[in-house]
Amino acid sequence: MKIVLCCAGGFSTTMLMDSMKRTVKESAKLNDDDFSFVAVPVDILNSEVENCDVLVIGPQIAHRLDYIKPIIDPYHIPYVIVDKDTYGKMDGATVLKMALIARKKADMNK
């Protein structure tokens, strides 16, 4: 599963991505080989949408959803917007759970 994390510059999102990777690595149920993570600034999202399974949107760019939706909608990519408290804590476990739920809901609605 390819999870793309998207924010303003890609820096803080890289820290969140590392937290999500740690969650997968430390999990007894999840396999490291089943996941790939990419953190990108919103302005280059176009380059990462192909083969993206779920998009994680940082709270600092939630207002750019009008820009993001036309990019991801043709690919039917589900997305989650991380709330500022979860993001501030760099809570990778919660964000990973949100992403997995969004993907599962999208698969059920096919």
Q: What is the pLDDT of residues 44-84, one digit of tens each?
A: 999 999 899 999 999 999 999 999 999 999 999 999 999 99
Catalytic member of 4, 5, 7, 56: 7
pTM of this structure? 0.95
Tell me the domain boundaries of the chain.
2-108
User: Is 6 among the catalytic positions?
Assistant: no
Strand order, beta sheet including 2-7:
36-41, 2-7, 54-57, 79-81
C-alpha to C-alpha distance for 25 and 62, rounded to whole angstroms: 28
Q: Which CATH superfamily is domain 2-108 in?
A: Response regulator (3.40.50.2300)
Q: What is the pLDDT of residues 8-28, one digit of tens each?
A: 886 788 999 999 999 999 999
